[in-house]
Structure formats: C-alpha cells, structure tokens
Amino acid sequence: MALDHNILLEVGTNEFEVVEFIIRGARDNYYGINVAKVREIIKFPEVIHVPEAHPAIVGTANVRNKIIPIINLAYWLNIKYDYDPSTAKVIITYFNLQYNGFIVDDITRIHRVTWADIKDYATISDFQLANSVLGVVNINNRLVQLLDFEKIVSEINPNTKMVNVEIDYSKSTLRSKKHVFLAEDSDVIRKLLVRNLESAGYRVTAFENGKKLLNAIDKSNPDIIVTDLEMPVADGTFLIKTLRSTDRFKNIPIVVFSSLASEENEKKVLGIGANAFIGKPDMSIMINTLDKLVL
C-alpha cells in the first residue's frame, strides 16, 4: 500500500492525515501515526535475525533494496501479544533521515484531522505510555493515541539520539542579547534544544506547541523563532502563516526544525515565510543558523 504524499502539509490549514492502526492484545489497541512519516504499508516480509539487537527488533528486511530494521511495536509498548506473521502488516516509516518498519496487526484507515483535535496525552487512560504519546484524538468514539515514533526509535537505537553539540563560545556575549522563542512538542527534544541554545548564550523561552507561542508572543519581543512542524493544537505551518500575516512579526526570522526532512517540505515552509529548514537530528547546524540570522 503506497501513500500519496502530494496532499501532505496543507499550508496553513493546521490539518494533517493520520494512519490509524491496531495492535491486538487483551483488547484492540488503537494508535496513529502522521501520514507524513509513512512511506508505505507492506505485508510481513522475510526477516533476517540481527544478533545482539534490541529485543524489540525482530530483524532486518530488504524492502525496495533498502535494509530496514523491523520493530515489534507491541513488545515496545509492553503489550503481551504475539503477532501473526501471516496476517501482520508492517508500516515503513521515514523520518530523521532513517527508514524503520513497525509491525502492526491491522490498518483501519486514514483520517484527516486538525491539530486542534489532538488532546493532551494526560487525558488518556493508558498512563504507562504517557511519555510516548504525543496526543490523543477521538475518532468514531474511540481514542486513538498518536505515538511519539521519534522517541521510540531513539530508545531502541541510541545511536539515532540527538546529543549535545560542540559550541563556539566566542559569540556568547552577542548571543546573550538575543531572545529565542521555541515551539517543540517533544519534551526530550525541547529540553535538549533549550540546553544547547542556552549553553551557547541565547536566552530561550520554550513552548509545547504553536498555540502557546502565539499566545505569548504579543507580550514579548523575541528576536527569532525555532519551531517544529508536527505539534498538537497549532502546528508549525499554521504558526508561520499566522506570524507572517501580522505586521509586527512578518519579518521576524523563523527556523523550522523537523523530522519531516524532504525537499518538498522545505520548499513549502520556505514558501510561506520560514527563513531556514533544518532536518532532525542535525542539531549541530542549529546554532550556526541562528547566528547567521540574528547576529
């Protein structure tokens, strides 16, 4: 099942599409992933075992001439259930410049929703997953949990984690005069960004989504904005378009930091007014980009 990505990232509409899937167990568990992260959905492939791999990795598979890790999502979610290779599906994803495959039991359908429909994960009953859920959406009277696949992959494969970067401190005094507004829904990435930017000398105010940043910006005067694209309530494209339509902020530099790295997405966000697009996990060029735009 190939997906059409030409309709992704509708500029400024705050909409996106989510693939709803099922992992069975004592009951059916409904989860979702942004279509923008999905390349295709395939039948369970022939898998080669990888010695000493994370226990959630069942092996690797050759998919369209790419060697891709195949991950047992039920194992990682601590769902006591053995998938059936004869009926299971694998969601092939691409984000943070990496391909991964996630085993699921079935695909329900693709839904178009708005980021405003996404509720905070504190509203869900499955609190053991709270740190791995970006949000929850009510679809046809069932709660679909949007999993934080970036966090899942980084924990399964620590080599993919974003880390602290080497910093040139010669410009710290100049940076200390500049105020950065940051919108990022992932708690792990948000804290890492804040730590690196503050270590470099920048003053940083961080927000969990674009809506909170927009609510605060009228009371402040940031010198530059760094934003993710995927965020509940108000996403990055909505944030950019809103700021560019306001006289006071139409010229403020905006840097997009996103796992959805592609020429298409870069072209779209630059087309609505972003000044730079940095694909995760390339945090090493973040500080240089900010220096270039505001110093």
Among residues 5, 21, 2, which one has the least CA distance to residue 139? 21
Task: Say if residues 89 and 73 touch (Cβ distance below 8 Å).
Answer: no
Positions in the chain whose pLDDT score sits under 50: 5-9
Q: Where are the beta strands (DSSP E) in 105-188?
A: 106-114, 133-139, 142-147, 179-183
Distances (CA, A) of 128 to 62, 78, 89: 33, 9, 25
User: Using CB atoms within 10 A of its CB, is residue 131 exposed (0-12), middle (13-18) or buried (19+)?
Assistant: exposed
According to the model, what pLDDT value does residue 6 have? Answer: 44
Locate all alpha helices (DSSP H) within 26-179, ordered by sequence. Answer: 73-76, 149-156, 172-175
According to the model, what pLDDT value does residue 54 have? Answer: 92
User: Model confidence over 229-274: pLDDT tens digits?
Assistant: 988 888 899 999 999 999 999 999 999 999 887 788 888 899 999 9
User: Using CB atoms within 10 A of its CB, is residue 214 exposed (0-12), middle (13-18) or buried (19+)?
Assistant: buried
According to the model, what pLDDT value does residue 11 have? Answer: 54
According to the model, what pLDDT value does residue 25 have? Answer: 82
According to the model, what pLDDT value does residue 9 have? Answer: 45
According to the model, what pLDDT value does residue 7 have? Answer: 39
According to the model, what pLDDT value does residue 236 have? Answer: 92
Q: What angle do CA 256, 293, 223 make, to 5 degrees?
A: 80
According to the model, what pLDDT value does residue 8 have? Answer: 41
According to the model, what pLDDT value does residue 275 have? Answer: 97
Q: What is the pTM of this model?
A: 0.81
Find tokens 């959630």 and name the residue.
56
